Amino acid sequence: MQPYKPLIVAFCCNWCSYAGADLAGNNRLSYPADVKIIRVPCSCRVNPMFILRAFQRGADGVILCGCHPGDCHYTTGNYYTRRRMSLLFSMLDYLGIERERTRVEWVSAAEGAKFAATMNDFAETVAALGENKRLEDLRCKK
Amino acid sequence: MQKINREALIEKAAALLDAGTVDRVLAWKRGEFDYDVTPGLFTTREQMEAELVFGDFCGANMSKYLIKETLKGEGKVLVFLKPCDTYSFNQLLTEHRFDREKVYAVGIPCEGMLSVTAIKAAAGDGISKIDVTEEGVVVETLFDGTKVFGHDEMLAERCRNCKSKRHVAYDELMGEEGEVLDSARFDEVAKIEAMSSEERFAFWQGELSRCIRCNACRDVCPACTCEKCVFGNPDSGIENKAITDSFEEKMFHIIRAFHVAGRCTDCGECSRVCPQQIPLHLLNRKFIKDANNLWGDYQAGEEVGSRAPLVDFDFDDMEPGEAVIKNGGEQ
Amino acid sequence: MIKEPLMPVIGVVTDIRIDTPDVRTFRVVTPNGEKPFIHKPGQCAMLSMPGVGEAMFSITSSPTNTEFMEFSIKKCGCLTDWLHAMEVGQQVTVRGPYGNAFPVDTEFTGKDMLFIAGGIGLAPLRSVINYCRHYRDRYGRIDIVYGSRTKDDLVDYNEIITEWIGDDDVHVHLTIDREQEGWDGHVGFVPSYVKELGFSTENRIGILCGPPIMIKFTLQGLVDMGFEKSQIYTTLEMRMKCGIGKCGRCNVGSKYICKDGPVFRFDELDELPDEY
Amino acid sequence: MRAISYAKLDTLFAKIAETHGVYLPVEGKKGTDYKRWEQGDVYSTALNSNRSPKDIFFPQSENLMDFKVEGKSIEIVDTRSESEDFVIFGVRACDVKSIEVLDRVFLKEPADSYYENRRSHAVIMSMACTKPAETCFCKTFGIDPAEPMGDIACWVDGEVLYMNANTEKGEALLEKLEGITEEASADAADTAKALITERMAKLPLAALKADAFGAGKTQKYFDHPAWAELSEACLGCGTCTYVCPTCQCYDIKDFNTGHGVKRFRCWDSCMYSDFTQMSAGQPRLTQLERFRQRFMHKLVYYPENNDGMFSCVGCGRCLAKCPIKMNIAKVMKTIGKENDND
């Protein structure tokens, strides 16, 4: 049987992680093609609604990537992200949505290899969980 | 503790009206039955004597009405605040939602409000009278005679787990000041956390699937004071409409609770008003519990101007991955 | 399959005319080139783009036009923004006709007609005006008072200049709010222009459409001139979703604007609560 | 009249389920709701279900049609299908009346085929209310809970369920059930009826009258000064409209699924501030107007269009559920008060 190929949505901050993804590409490091990157000005831009909406539209896992704490282009954006996502992901866990489906990772512009490794690892973890059934919108299923 | 009755409130309010300190009074109005009390505005002693009530069903938190009320006219409005209402009062002040100068707040003690739902569930339909005596809650029914229930069992959930009998804001206090209590309000949350992921999912699916999206939880919430709610935006995807599927009900409740996270004083109004009896406070308390757990104890509304955990940070805050484990336990 | 009033048909936009900076007129036919359905002057239709929205628009072409249907639409919201951005050949969905109509074949016959419109308010009147022009001998003198903010904001200006003005016993009175270069016509607001022109009330029907403030003052002016409220008609707008008097939002008193309206006589409106 | 032992309700449901879907109120975790009967479900005698049987005919949300949009072209996909025959059991007299109220809206020309489809396949088995609640006031609107309407009326007296057909549809169903039911005399349920009538008179709202309302009262009540006070505490939530068995306002919206567009209809509430919001303006600016609209519609506008029939059935759900306990009974008492002196 083919292993399940999950759909991953990755919110990447414009200044670090998006550049990190670029670097991964330039260095020909491979990561799953089902990782859909959405560029955001700062990880702090990611509203909880974005994450839920990604699940609604069929994502099996959502990962949020930003600059390392202390390196935010806007000085403090990712510190807020860290707090927000701690609460949001705990809440999703509380509602019985598998906690492995969500992740926050700090990836700098120089860490192309880390980006690829993170995505590979995350995709593998989510693949093991299979299809997202607990936070799905049936109308969006084909 | 000295029990404050309706006559005492009327005397106090009438005196303040006569003295010209205030020109209207925000209090509880008599309804059809003993238990249905409507928030209302009074301007004269006669009106109060005819319609004002204060008893075991005056749970409605008046703080939010102050936003609307203070915008009307120049005079001051008198508001009676129970201890838990004072937290909402402070939180609204923190967010500059009304003009403190236009309000005269009188703190009143509270021994816990009764839950009509609990009484109806226990006594059945056809309630003609509810009295609280030393025996407990005495319920007269239309067809099954009189029934007596223990006072504590009939208390609203939020009152059974009351967090504080201390008033954190007032211009004047009636009766004695109480203490902040060591409440067991997070026990229920911990119980759910201890379940397996599947059980938690099944639990919440069962609760949230009853939601009819009437928005009562949002509209009554003293922390939900946005002029234009995100759920009023047609592009939000979850507009103010009946729910269409199980995703939307989860989305609505997560976002609703998240938007008040750090600002929710745990007044419990959301659960009180829910026509479908969804334990919404368990969502809000989860956020409070987690925030306390990660960043130290914080009680919204305890003091005006305090900085809520989500608009603050520490350089060495925990990473979200670890935080989820710390809050939810190892699986 | 059973007929369903909420089920639309496909319409193809075959022509887009730019009337003013914010008004465009769309020509709609079915995919096989026919007029989507038959309507009466004053009736409306629901236009929609799936995924964008659905809204009620008055049909601006005259029923006497058997080839196509036209809608003059002002850009003011989500759906209308989208419609303004679309190109010829685009398909939309259309359902209708909805509402009552102007009593062109009963109360109006043999009467002198006075049309008063402001801005986009001409859109719903255009179907009646063209209907009356088509059956010219059934009606008496036709007066059209039409005003807009500027010359560029006059909807259907070309048709007015090339067709209406030249017609027999059709008197067009145009006005704009403020002086403008290249405009040698009347300058002033519609209500005062109507007063200036002065109309006899005898055997005359007035039809008013425009922004609420214009309607208010023009109506007052007409009443001052001696018009009975039962001589004056208007057409209302409200938010609508179903078009068949069921969804509840266009409910005013016991009437539903989508079904019992949108055309009302002012004496009928007096019976309704002031909530439109 | 037919009779069956109350203990054998399961047999009755199983028999009906051979040919029909069966819906009935079943006690859930918190209160009662209508659900499709499965072996093991127990009929709940609770008076009011959380949500009324309106859900079954006019669901909270339903798909109307699908669209496939490609380039400039659109394809309309009709997703309707014929409903199965089904029976709703245990509908209270007030709720039965509410279905008639809905019929007058949805089946009026041009009929709503989605509603009509379900309505025409339904057989309603109503249930007399042996134990009304303090919030009940169906009598105010001329409903007799001792003689519920519906295709088949049912009474419970002690251990026996009596059934009487009111319509041809009901007769046909009762005929089918002849194997498991017994013949009963026409007056078999009279004891039960008498008890109900006696109990109804004791209700606190028994004296509430609707005479002051009805067609032609628009001008009289529209500008009544009491609306301001009544609507003062209203939160503008939709609880009353969503639990109401007769509220039928809806919205039609599109949902883009990413591979097509679903046009669906869902309940909407006149209490919501965006209900009448247009880009051009808002005819009902404050909660006062929205609040007034709801009650004027139920008590004046609807009767005007429907031969004096009110669009409230006195089920009492809004009395029990309103967060601030403002409700139609209080409105009727306040607004209709002056009429007592007339």
Chain A residues near residue B244 by CB distance under 8 angstroms:
139
Let me know whether D192 and D121 are in one domain.
yes
Let me know whether D185 and D226 are in one domain.
no
**Could you tell me the two tokens for B80?**
């009676």
- C168 and chain D in contact, CB less than 8 A: no
pLDDT (0 to 100) of residue B62: 92
pLDDT (0 to 100) of residue C2: 55
CB-based burial of residue B147 (10 Å sphere; 0-12 exposed, 13-18 middle, 19+ buried)? middle
Let me know whether C118 and C228 are in one domain.
yes
Let me know whether C124 and C229 are in one domain.
yes
pLDDT (0 to 100) of residue B187: 93
Closest by CA position to B295, among listed A81, C120, A83, D31: A83
Question: Is C263 contained in some domain?
Answer: no
pLDDT at A60 over 50: yes
Question: Is D210 contained in some domain?
Answer: no
Report residues of chain D scoring pLDDT below 50: 340-342
Q: Whole-angstrom Cα distance, residue A134 to residue A54? A: 13
Let me know whether D58 and D151 are in one domain.
yes
pLDDT (0 to 100) of residue C7: 92
Tell me the DSSP string of B228-262. S-GGG-GGGSS-SS---SHHHHHHHHHHHHHHTTT
Let me know whether C117 and C230 are in one domain.
yes
Question: Is C4 contained in some domain?
Answer: no
Let me know whether D68 and D192 are in one domain.
yes
- Output the domain CATH number for residue C225: 3.40.50.80
Query: Which residues face D183 on adjacent strands?
Result: D2
Let me know whether C131 and C224 are in one domain.
yes
* Last-in-domain residue among C71, C98, C125: C98
The type of residue at D260 is G
**Could you tell me the two tokens for C47?**
């236009």
Report residues of chain B scoring pLDDT below 50: 1
pLDDT (0 to 100) of residue D342: 42
- A138 and chain D in contact, CB less than 8 A: no
Distance (Å) of CA B264 to CA B92, B267, D76 = 10, 8, 46
Question: Is D305 contained in some domain?
Answer: yes
What is the count of structural domains for chain C?
A: 2
| φ and ψ at residue D334, rounded to 5 degrees | -75, -50
| A140 — pLDDT class (breaks 50, 70, 90) | confident
- D249 and chain C in contact, CB less than 8 A: yes
Question: Is D209 contained in some domain?
Answer: no
Q: Whole-angstrom Cα distance, residue B56 to residue B33? A: 13
Three-point CA angle C51, C52, C58, nearest 5°: 125
Question: Is C256 contained in some domain?
Answer: no
Let me know whether D100 and D188 are in one domain.
yes
- D29 and chain B in contact, CB less than 8 A: yes
Distance (Å) of CA B6 to CA B28, B43, D54 = 10, 16, 41
Q: Whole-angstrom Cα distance, residue B215 to residue B203? A: 21
Residues 39-98 of D with CB under 8 A from B: 46-47, 50-51, 60-61
Let me know whether C150 and C213 are in one domain.
yes
ipTM of this predicted complex? 0.90
Let me know whether D26 and D160 are in one domain.
yes
**CA of D81 vs chain A CAs: smallest distance (Å):** 18
Which top CATH class is A8-140? Answer: alpha beta
Question: Is D68 contained in some domain?
Answer: yes
Distance, CA of C79 to chain centre: 19
What is the count of structural domains for chain D?
A: 2
Query: Which residues face C161 on adjacent strands?
Result: none
Instruction: Provide the greatest CA pair distance for chain B.
Output: 65
Let me know whether D253 and D133 are in one domain.
no
**Could you tell me the two tokens for B215?**
């928005």
Let me know whether D11 and D155 are in one domain.
yes
CB C23 within 8 A of CB C122: no
Strand A61-66 and strand A35-40: pairing? Answer: unpaired
Q: Which residue has the tokens 């409440």?
A: B183
CB-based burial of residue B316 (10 Å sphere; 0-12 exposed, 13-18 middle, 19+ buried)? exposed
Question: Is D262 contained in some domain?
Answer: yes
Let me know whether D150 and D253 are in one domain.
no
pTM, entire model:
0.91
Where are the domains positioned within chain A?
8-140
Let me know whether C128 and C208 are in one domain.
yes
Give the sign of the dihedral formed by CA B44, CA B46, CA B48, CA B52. negative
Q: Which domain holds residue C150?
A: 112-235
pLDDT (0 to 100) of residue C1: 46
pLDDT (0 to 100) of residue B240: 67
Let me know whether C219 and C123 are in one domain.
yes
- Contact between chain A and chain C (3 or more Cβ pairs less than 8 Å apart): no
Q: Whole-angstrom Cα distance, residue D52 to residue B311? A: 43
Let me know whether D58 and D133 are in one domain.
yes
Let me know whether C157 and C225 are in one domain.
yes
List the D32-36 sheet strands across, edge first. D32-36, D21-27, D86-92, D122-127, D152-157, D160-165, D2-5, D182-183
List the D61-70 sheet strands across, edge first. D73-78, D61-70, D261-267, D250-256
- Contact between chain B and chain A (3 or more Cβ pairs less than 8 Å apart): yes
pLDDT (0 to 100) of residue D186: 87
Q: Whole-angstrom Cα distance, residue D321 to residue D50? A: 9
Write the pLDDT tens digit of every residue in B82-134: 999 999 999 999 999 999 999 999 999 998 999 999 998 898 888 889 999 88
Give the sign of the dihedral formed by CA D251, CA D257, CA D262, CA D264. negative
pLDDT (0 to 100) of residue C94: 94
The pLDDT profile of chain C, 276 residues, written as one tens digit per residue, is 457 889 999 999 999 999 889 999 999 999 998 999 999 999 999 999 998 989 999 999 999 998 999 999 999 888 999 999 999 999 999 998 999 999 988 888 889 999 999 988 999 999 999 999 999 889 989 999 999 998 888 888 888 888 888 888 888 999 999 888 888 889 989 999 988 888 888 899 999 998 888 888 999 889 988 988 899 999 988 888 898 989 998 989 889 999 998 999 999 888 888 877
Question: Is C253 contained in some domain?
Answer: no
Question: Is D39 contained in some domain?
Answer: yes
Q: Whole-angstrom Cα distance, residue B266 to residue B254? A: 16
Number of C:D CB contacts under 8 A?
130
CB A60 within 8 A of CB A129: yes
Q: Which domain holds residue D58?
A: 2-200
Distance (Å) of CA A13 to CA A19, A37, A74, B226, C187 = 8, 10, 11, 28, 57
